Structure 1
């Protein structure tokens, strides 16, 4: 297993967007994100968003967890035929949602409704009365959960909000857990089984406490985290020879649309991590090896389902 030190964190999740003039106000004015950095390239612009936190003051965007990267390919906002895949349709399913944890979910729901936010699921709907789902301007699902930090009656404070997790569906949980735990060094924070609906959720993230016991974290403490990956396993897919797998958000094979891009692991010495992975896992699936692309100082590795994970350092583009 590669050496995992305390600098390791899940830095960001990337989603493609159609029009930044719609997406940026939604995430900043309504959901309370702050624009940390915008990084412009000839053909696309990256918008790095995160919730304010004094612990991250003075740090580069790539040295903190809980970042949402919105990727805008220049000109698509003018294309009436341009569409994005939110990952939850009847075909090309894969990515499920991002999740924001809030202080007071009842009040947050009221505030979002007053601002015209479209809900996929309100608190009162369905069996799970403690979660809600809203839709962003591109149709991506955003789960709402409650962390209770600083909770006060009849109010909600976006300064307490956190980008808690990113959900992706996986075919074989054993293979996926082995990859995220052994190759990338994540810890299994907790597991949630749902026998009636025949699926299991695995929540993984970095925890650098030597005394932490895996699969032991309760719901509320987990909701206070940033930088979690939620693996959703629908029972039986691992043994179903007819199951073709999930869409990774990036391929366009067979008419698939793009949408979700990747998650990202950040650490102080990403070159060392990549070197150790190559040495210990020679069959690892790289879409871009360290420092070999047009953009230097990054790499992309694929998990067993083909989802991309970017690997970078804590000072990427710090001088731009």
Structure 2
């Protein structure tokens, strides 16, 4: 009999113990591009900080973040407040806190935890329930989810887990494309070109995207390596590889069209004198052309990877 897929129905995270749940959450955040990720929960004495790492933000500086894994059917107010108080008493310096729980979290509970966190000086708080964790895993880590559900043992050590999450030698083309897709998930590919628009670090984002798809090296705007991802050269299917190559060509065409607009003044900085100002004025016909090229690049990648969700606007 053919093997029944375990990924069709929702994932029953409750079937797994606390360490296994933490391993999966750790592996996902490594896959998502977090750096300096440490697994305190494994060592014990975590002070409410199961996982600590540096989260890379496309529209702001990196921030040191703490992840508290709650392998329970619900995130109670008492549990959240207890973990926050323990974290605040620990020596860890952080700028954001995330709770990841296997159960659903109601809107009223989210609001109450948010209110308590803000009252204690934590202004950046996020909460993922089981459905949200599964959604994020399916986006860029379905191979991790598949291994997790099929009982493949995850490593015990943080360094080994990092290598495990970054290994793509055995990835299918679809799993490789899922990782490649994240380099498009940034304002440079979502913000519509119009007569006046904000294009924060646009040219650098385009350069980084081309480099990541061609070489598999994903970098920050400052040039620091975030992590390795599969490149188009890892794709085995000829049609998928051709479509991704076409997408890269169109992103390069977008870069050259933008540079041309700056040269002939059809794209102009706002005039405030700040060299880092993200606001540009764009002639209407040029805006239409840039939007067309960018939409074509996204469509070409979607031809290879139908689950691709990034769209302009």
| TM beyond 0.5 | no
More helix by share: 2
TM-score normalised per structure 1: 0.28
Highest Rg: 1 or 2?
2
Question: Which structure is higher in RCO with an 8 Å CA cutoff and minimum separation 6?
Answer: 1
**Greater share of strand residues, 1 or 2?**
1
